[in-house]
Amino acid sequence: RTITSQKLPNGNTRLVSPHHLNVADFGEIMVFENLKHLNFEEIALTKVKRLLDNTFRLQITFTREKKRISQNKVVGADWNMFNNEVFRTSENKTIAIPKEIVKKANELEVAKDKFKSLRDGEYNKRGKTALWQKYQRKQAKLSAKRANILTEIYRKLVHELVDEFDTVIIEKIDAFEMRKRSLSLNKAQNTGKNKRLALIKPYELSKIVASLVNKQNKTLIKVDPYKTSQVEYGTEYEEKHELRETNKDGKRIYVSAYTGKEVDRDYNAALNIKEWGLHPEKHVKLRDYPKLNASNLVEII
């Protein structure tokens, strides 16, 4: 018969990382809750249960009663590079770089490019002269100033995302994913995207999110970004769509060919990110690639 519950030996459960346990006779188990606070010497019984949906539940019984942990507040967030927006959350909150910061960053970018042009012109005419070095220092100073301004605002915006929640779920976007997305765009679209990437840097933001989550002893889940914006939340229907149309609030929308409803593209993506981060077995990628394991679609930090 199918084993639905299994008791595990005591004294052989150890913490590998805040979200990974090594359990005797079972192996390494990934869990959503941060377990750093647990005292494993007080474990009386460890049991693994197979649920009806084919997922597992780890049940730990302690020798002393533990206070119940308050309800976990979870938010999903979509990387957003539209109108200087950084995140759109599953609470339908927009987190954006303030207009005055955008203006200052753009002014510094123009000034930096001016000295870069002068530097390159001097090099082409006379090589690395004293004047070339002067232009080089000016360009580097302006570049550093711009980067510092943006890093400081990134930290403030990440606090807006993280502070009110216990678990934050974002897309896992690395250099490979950004290159893949670039190849899917035409030249004109890529030019605009590269300008936005100069202002909004998902990789740097991701590191700041991870650092703050760790500092506040919270949980960060990174989910595979596959089709997060194409699947209509709450359905299995998916479609590719143009992202040029906006509503009266300036949000990117499309009209669903499935329901006929107006869909807020970025809010829809944030809802999918939250849902698939908490329940990777529901991720649409498993439908397209059935040999994949659901646990490979999320990374818990």
Q: Which uninterrupted H or E stretch holds 202?
A: helix 202-215
Q: Give percent of the chain above pLDDT 70.
A: 75
CB 282 within 8 A of CB 275: yes
Range of weakest confidence among 22-36, 71-85, 256-270: 22-36
pLDDT band at 71 (very low <50, low <70, confident <90, very high): low
pLDDT of the residue at 124: 94
Choose between 75 and 175: higher pLDDT: 75
pLDDT band at 119 (very low <50, low <70, confident <90, very high): very high
Choose between 259 and 42: higher pLDDT: 259
What's 66's DSSP letter? -
- The DSSP string of 24-37 is TTTEEEE-SS--TT
> 152-173, pLDDT tens digit by residue?
999 999 999 999 999 999 999 8
Closest CA to 275 of 228, 218, 220, 206: 228
Q: Determine how β-strand 94-96 pairs with β-strand 167-171.
A: unpaired
pLDDT of the residue at 82: 76
d(CA 4, CA 57): 10
Partner residues linked to 7 by β-bridges: 47
Phi, psi of 218 (to 5 degrees): -110, -170
Q: Give the Cα-Cα-Cα angle 198, 202, 205 (nearest 5 degrees).
A: 105
CB 72 within 8 A of CB 86: no
CB 165 within 8 A of CB 70: no
Average pLDDT, the chain: 82
16, 30, 33, 155, 227 from 19: Cα distances, Å: 8, 6, 7, 25, 26
Residue reference for tokens 């679209």 = 189
